[in-house]
Amino acid sequence: MTGRRQHLELGDEASGRLRTVLSLTEVSLRTRSTFIVRDVSLHLRQTELIVVSGLNGSGKTSLLRLCAGVRTPRDGTRSCRAPIGYVPAGISPLPLTPSRWLQTFPRERLTDPRLLLEELGFQGKFDRPMRELSFGNRRKLLLAELFSSNADVLIVDEIAAGLDHAGISAVKRLVKRSQERGAAVLLADQETGIDWNETRSYWMESGSLAETAERPAIIQLVGPVQNLEAMRDSARELNFRVV
Amino acid sequence: MSFEIAKYYGRILLHSGRWGPGVVVFVLIALIPLGNPAESSDIASGLFFAFVVLGTILGRQIGSVDGSDHLDMVAALADGHRRLHRIRSATSWCLGALVALPTSAFAIVSSTTGPIATFGLAIVLSLTGLSVGATGATVLHPPVLRNNSLAVLLSIGYIIVLIVLPQVQDYLRTLENQVTQKPLLVLIACIGVWVLMTEFASRVASRSGFVS
């Protein structure tokens, strides 16, 4: 469907022969003086869920744009064997209603995006211009479009941005369903502490990518706490991050 | 997929209302020769300029009708910015060409002499004008314009075009009733230049890493 790429049959998971659908090999991206992404290798296979975390400006978005094929690497190679769906962190509103946009966006659908919007807790109006939607509802619209599509590689930047708790729970279910149908999913997430049940997770810093064996959990202390410092120390000993 | 993306951009442009100013300017320019009954070759040369304007405005508007985030979304679908840029440039040319046929027919029917003989010439000159406009517009897309040296070159190019325009107009008037050969060769050359410029601009767009 997308360009010259063919949809892939799901590999034999039991024998571990899932196909690699997206590969970056020693990819770099830089301006004249600074590396934005430095020597990154990343291989995404069918049914996998990879989460890339990192601070603002660490290069997550640039990495995802490289994966989506919307930026060309300065060095290294990228190969992709499946149709890609990419959702950026935000979108400036188009001169269309949500209803018309979902009808006209040129992608084949596996399910009705309106059902997914309902599941995501979309509160906007379908027949009003997109500019009247809140940021969160606009994000839900983009996510419903993506997860209802037949793309085999789903790439989402700032996955939790603008979503409420119900929305995040729904996204988790949608990610799971996409994996079950054989799609590979790549997410970028801030330090939200949300457990996405990912296959692998990476930490990005200054353009470099490091695999994290276990994602550090984040504890958020809410309300009056007795002996706060002692709790902080205990949490740090257990390798938790306290916010 | 290319056709579906082209259709999609056509719809966004239609609903954006951005075609409005372009159409008004086009109609005004086209009305000048139509409002003053004259030789059909004069009308044809008048249409040339109307289509230069239409090609430029259509190409520019299609190139900037959406923000960079949405552009990235569609680029992922189109297999990169390079291919998406080609599709958008072709979309603007095809939309202009759809307007060329009825406009040329109407213009020639309104002329005082030679309606049938110069109909071909009017179409050829309209498409030539459209190609010239589309050539300019293909480098006016935001991802391409981000390249500063290209923007300087463009400015110089437009100044040269403005200086040369009166001579071009005189030349077009001398083409009276040369329905074949010379004008057709000019059209082919202009389409060739448009294709080359689109290819060049698509390479710049894919390298620019445009972020709003």
pLDDT at res. A242: 54
**B23 pLDDT more than 80:** yes
Chain segment B149-165, per-residue pLDDT in tens: 776 777 777 778 777 77
Residue A176 has pLDDT above 90, yes or no: yes
Chain B residues whose CB is inside 8 A of the A29 CB are 209
Whether residues A90 and A152 share a domain: the answer is: yes
DSSP state of A238: T
Answer yes or no: do A92 and B67 touch at CB < 8 A: yes
pLDDT tier for residue B195 given thresholds of 50, 70 and 90: very high
Measured CB to CB, residues of chain A less than 8 Å from chain B are 1-5, 29, 62, 65, 68-72, 83-92, 94-96, 100, 104-107, 142, 155
Q: Provide DSSP, B104-148.
A: HHHHHHTSSS-TTTTHHHHHHHHHHHHHHHHHHHTT-SHHHHT-H
Q: Any chain A CB within 8 A of the CB of B66?
A: yes
Q: Which residues contact A32 (CB under 8 A, 6 or more apart)?
A: none
Same-domain pairing of A56 and A167: yes
- Which among A1, A3, A88 is the nearest to B72, CB-wise? A88
| Domain of residue A54, CATH code | 3.40.50.300
Per-residue pLDDT averaged across B99-125, rounded? 72
Q: What is the structure's pLDDT at A154?
A: 95
Average pLDDT over residues B82-96: 92
Q: Is the pLDDT of residue B3 over 70?
A: yes
CB of A143 within 8 A of CB of A174?
yes
Do residues A141 and A229 both lie within one domain? no
Query: Containing domain of residue A237, as a range?
Result: 217-243
How many domains in chain B? 1
For B40, what's the count of Cα atoms within 13 Å in the CB-facing half-sphere? 24
Complex ipTM, two decimals?
Answer: 0.79
One domain for residues A204 and A221: no
Is residue B36 pLDDT above 90, yes or no?
no
Distance in Å, alpha carbon of A45 to nearest chain B alpha carbon:
18
**Do residue A187 and residue A226 come from a single domain?**
no
- Using a CB-CB distance cutoff of 8 angstroms, which residues of chain A are in contact with residue B16? 94-95
My answer on whether A44 and A105 are in the same domain is yes
- Tell me: do A181 and A243 sit in the same domain: no
Q: Are residues A73 and A141 in the same domain?
A: yes
The reported pLDDT for the residue numbered B16 is 85
Nearest-by-CA chain A residue for B2? A3
Of B11, B69, B79, the CB nearest to A88: B69
Give me the domain span that covers residue B10. 2-208
* Residue B211 binned pLDDT confidence (cut-offs 50, 70, 90): very low
- A84, β-bridge pairs: A153
**Angle, to 10 degrees, between the axis of helix B81-109 and the axis of helix B68-78?**
100
**Worst-scoring range by mean pLDDT, A10-14, A116-120, B150-154?**
A10-14
User: A168 and A86 in one domain?
Assistant: yes
B78: number of Cβ within 10 Å:
24
Q: What is the mean pLDDT of chain B?
A: 80
Q: Which pLDDT band, with edges at 50, 70 and 90, does B97 fall under?
A: very high
- pLDDT of A183 reads 92
- Report d(CA B8, CA A100) in Å as an integer: 11
B contacts of A142 (beta carbons < 8 Å): 73
Which range is least confidently modeled, A38-47, A66-75, B161-170? B161-170
Q: Out of B79, B207, B209, whose CB is closest to A2? A: B79
pLDDT of residue A221: 55
Question: So what's the pLDDT on residue A12?
Answer: 46
Is the Cβ–Cβ distance between A47 and A197 less than 8 Å? no
* Nearest CB neighbour to A92, from listed B12, B15, B70: B70
pLDDT recorded at residue A2 = 41
For chain A, what percent of residues have pLDDT higher than 90?
42
Beta carbons of B15 and A96 less than 8 Å apart: yes
Between residues A160 and B39, which one has the greater pLDDT?
A160
**B136 vs chain A: nearest CA distance in angstroms?**
24
Q: What pLDDT score was predicted for residue B48?
A: 84
Question: Under an 8 A CB cutoff, do B69 and A92 touch?
Answer: yes
Ordered DSSP codes for B38-53: --HHHHHHHHHHHHHH
Q: Is residue A124 part of a domain?
A: yes
In this structure, the number of other CB atoms found within 10 A of the CB of residue A24 comes to 21
Is-contact B78 A3, C-beta < 8 A?
A: yes
> Looking at the 3D structure of chain A, how many domains does it have?
2
Is the model's pLDDT at A110 over the cut of 70? yes
Mean pLDDT for the stretch of residues B107-131: 74
Tell if the CB–CB gap between A95 and B12 is shorter than 8 Å. Answer: yes
- Cβ–Cβ below 8 Å for B75 and A70: yes
For A184-233, write each residue's pLDDT tens digit. 999 998 866 778 877 888 888 888 888 775 544 555 555 555 666 776 67
pLDDT greater than 90 at residue A146: yes
Answer yes or no: do A86 and B76 touch at CB < 8 A. yes
**Does one domain contain both A186 and A222?**
no
Question: How long a stretch of residues is chain A?
Answer: 243
pTM score > 0.95 for this model?
no
pLDDT tier at B210 (50, 70, 90 boundaries)? very low
- Dihedral-angle region of residue B17 (phi above 0 means left; psi in -120 to 50 means alpha; beta otherwise): left
Is the separation of the CB atoms in A36 and A75 below 8 Å? no
Report residue A153's pLDDT band, with 50, 70 and 90 as the boundaries.
Answer: very high
The rounded mean pLDDT for chain A is 83
Model confidence at B98: pLDDT above 50: yes
Segment holding A162, helix H or strand E? none
In a domain, A7, yes or no: no
Judge if A199 and A241 occupy the same domain.
no
C-alpha span between B88 and B206 (Å, rounded): 14
Asked if residue A158 and residue A224 are part of one domain, the reply reads: no
Residue A43 inside a domain? The answer is yes
Average the pLDDT over each of A136-145, A193-202, B169-178 and give the range with the smallest value: B169-178
Q: Is B157 touching A (CB cutoff 8 A)?
A: no
